[in-house]
């Protein structure tokens, strides 16, 4: 954890952080106007975490859509978090999408609307005026449809059994669930789905190998040394949270500016609520995937780019901790990452590819 803290201080503090996606800052959502359609829903359960856009069937037989993330508040009582919606059923495992239409730029869409885009389906997580489903991932989420391939984590190239082989349940922290990882994938539709089956599995193995190294095999949710406040007070937004911005999650997200940038990307106020990264498994996984897919750190490209453009695993190490490990600085740490990657590719049945070291 100490190396990671130094890495984030040394490599990321020197970089001017800016939001890297073409997503406008979310505004207050208007009243959902969802026409009756086959939609994906689950039966509401008190205490279950729901993200904005989730549809539930309440005990009165009516359907409600989450207007805001919430920890299972009652849809009838907590009307700021929930709003009635129309739904003709369709089951909890993905709708038939019979009402899906082809996505049109500039058309108004409401939470729960389902569209076809480049052969895949997406469901609106928030009202929006026709933002691109692939670019504006805060507003849209890949959706699985019966008889019509949508995106989503159900097609993740790493199975539950393979994940458990990589991270045995007896040794990993129960916080890091496979289901949490799969849920987080919806925010990054290109991850482990770019360049064919072999490249997709290599990318998944590379991401998980680096995560394994950072967390001691998914044992640590929070940084061991929490004495530092990791607050860059020169930022205009400051450090408003009561909690400190020490490392949390699969990449041990640290510093106020990283929580701010990751939160803006994901549509979650992590600057004010950094503890969410250590409380909600999907959010934790999303912060790890955010760094992997959007941040180059001390390297010249993101981890996602390194594994999909042929640069190789070594460049992913450089992007994560190159300033402290690469170019002969700490070969033991590099070898640990390479060992993880080699083992994980063997589990997935693909070659490692070239350029393993940095």
Q: In this structure, what token pair is assigned to residue 226?
A: 């929490």
Distance CA 330, CA 315 (A): 15
User: Residue 66 phi/psi, 5° resolution?
Assistant: -75, 120
Please report, for residues 114, 147, 190, 257, 295, the alpha-carbon distance to residue 15 in angstroms, rounded to integers and kept in the order given. Answer: 38, 46, 25, 10, 10
Confidence tier at 42 by pLDDT (50, 70, 90) = confident
Is the distance from CB of 319 to CB of 2 less than 8 angstroms? no
Q: Poorest-confidence range of 1-15, 55-69, 279-293?
A: 1-15
Reply yes or no on whether the pLDDT at 201 is more than 80.
yes
Whose CA is closest to 321, among 345, 293, 297? 297
What pLDDT does 90 receive? 37
Reply yes or no on whether the pLDDT at 216 is more than 90.
yes
- pLDDT tens for each residue of 180-200: 999 899 888 889 998 888 999
Is the distance from CB of 275 to CB of 243 less than 8 angstroms? yes
Q: In this structure, what token pair is assigned to residue 163?
A: 């994940």
- pLDDT tens for each residue of 149-179: 333 334 799 999 999 999 999 999 999 999 8
Please report which residue ranges of 150-280 form alpha helices under DSSP H: 160-166, 178-184, 196-215, 256-266
Reply yes or no on whether the pLDDT at 233 is more than 50.
yes
Geometric angle at alpha carbon 157, from 141 and 175, rounded to 5°: 70
Whose CA is closest to 347, among 216, 208, 220, 251? 208
Whose CA is closest to 286, among 313, 263, 258, 315? 263
> Which residue has better confidence, 189 or 27?
189
Other Cβ atoms closer than 10 A to 177: 19
Q: In this structure, what token pair is assigned to residue 267?
A: 């549509």
HSE of 27, CA atoms in CB hemisphere, 13 A: 6
Q: What average pLDDT does the segment 56-64 reach?
A: 75
Distance CA 266, CA 274 (A): 13
- Classify residue 133 as exposed, middle or buried by CB count within 10 Å of its CB (0-12, 13-18, 19+): buried
What pLDDT does 96 receive? 41
Distance CA 304, CA 307 (A): 5
Reply yes or no on whether the pLDDT at 102 is more than 50.
yes
The structure tokens 């500039």 sit at 106
3-state class (DSSP) for residue 121:
strand
HSE of 22, CA atoms in CB hemisphere, 13 A: 6
Q: Which residues carry out catalysis? A: 214
- pLDDT tens for each residue of 73-100: 888 788 788 887 766 443 333 334 555 6
Sheet holding 42-43, edge to edge: 42-43, 55-57, 63-66, 82-85
Average pLDDT, whole number, for the chain?
Answer: 80
What pLDDT does 36 receive? 34
Q: What average pLDDT does the segment 99-114 reach?
A: 76
Confidence tier at 40 by pLDDT (50, 70, 90) = low
Reply yes or no on whether the pLDDT at 12 is more than 50.
no
Q: Poorest-confidence range of 52-61, 194-203, 232-241, 266-275?
A: 52-61
Q: Contacts from 106-112 at CB under 8 Å and sequence distance 24+?
A: 106/130, 110/30, 110/32, 110/33, 110/34, 111/29, 111/32, 111/34, 111/52, 111/53, 111/65, 111/67, 111/85, 112/32, 112/34, 112/37, 112/39, 112/53, 112/55, 112/65, 112/85, 112/87
Q: Poorest-confidence range of 129-133, 135-139, 315-319?
A: 135-139
What pLDDT does 31 receive? 27
Distance CA 244, CA 241 (A): 7
For the chain, give the number of residues.
Answer: 358
């Amino acid at each position: 954890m100490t190396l990671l803290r130094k890495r984030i201080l040394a490599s990321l503090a020197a970089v001017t952080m800016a939001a890297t996606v073409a997503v406008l800052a979310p505004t207050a959502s208007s009243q959902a106007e969802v026409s009756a359609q086959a939609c994906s829903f689950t039966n509401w359960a008190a205490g279950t975490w729901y993200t904005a856009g989730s549809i539930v069937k309440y005990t009165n037989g009516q359907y409600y859509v989450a207007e805001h993330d919430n920890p299972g508040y009652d849809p009838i009582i907590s009307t700021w978090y929930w709003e009635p919606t129309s739904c003709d059923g369709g089951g909890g495992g993905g709708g038939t999408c019979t009402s899906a239409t082809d996505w049109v730029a500039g058309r108004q869409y409401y939470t729960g609307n389902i569209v076809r885009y480049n052969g895949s389906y997406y469901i609106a997580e928030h009202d929006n005026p026709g933002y691109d489903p692939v670019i504006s991932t805060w507003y849209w989420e890949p959706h699985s449809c019966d008889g019509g391939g949508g995106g989503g984590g159900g097609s993740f190239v790493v199975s539950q059994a393979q994940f458990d082989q990589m991270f045995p349940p007896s040794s990993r922290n129960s916080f890091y669930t496979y289901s949490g990882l799969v849920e987080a994938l919806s925010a990054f539709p290109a991850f482990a789905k770019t360049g064919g089956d072999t490249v997709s599995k290599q990318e998944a193995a590379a991401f998980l190998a680096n995560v394994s190294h950072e967390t001691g095999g998914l044992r640590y949710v929070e940084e061991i040394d929490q004495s530092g406040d990791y607050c860059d007070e020169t930022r205009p937004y400051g450090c408003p949270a009561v909690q400190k911005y020490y490392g949390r999650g699969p990449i041990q997200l640290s510093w106020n500016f990283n929580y701010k940038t990751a939160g803006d990307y994901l549509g979650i106020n992590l600057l004010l609520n950094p503890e969410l990264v250590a409380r909600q498994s999907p959010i934790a996984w999303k912060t790890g995937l955010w760094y992997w897919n959007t941040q180059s750190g001390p390297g010249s490209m993101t981890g996602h780019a390194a594994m999909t453009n042929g640069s190789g695993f070594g460049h992913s190490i450089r992007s994560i901790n190159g300033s402290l490990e690469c170019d002969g600085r700490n070969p033991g740490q590099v070898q640990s990452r390479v060992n993880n990657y080699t083992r994980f590719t063997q589990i997935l049945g693909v070659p490692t590819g070239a350029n393993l070291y940095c």
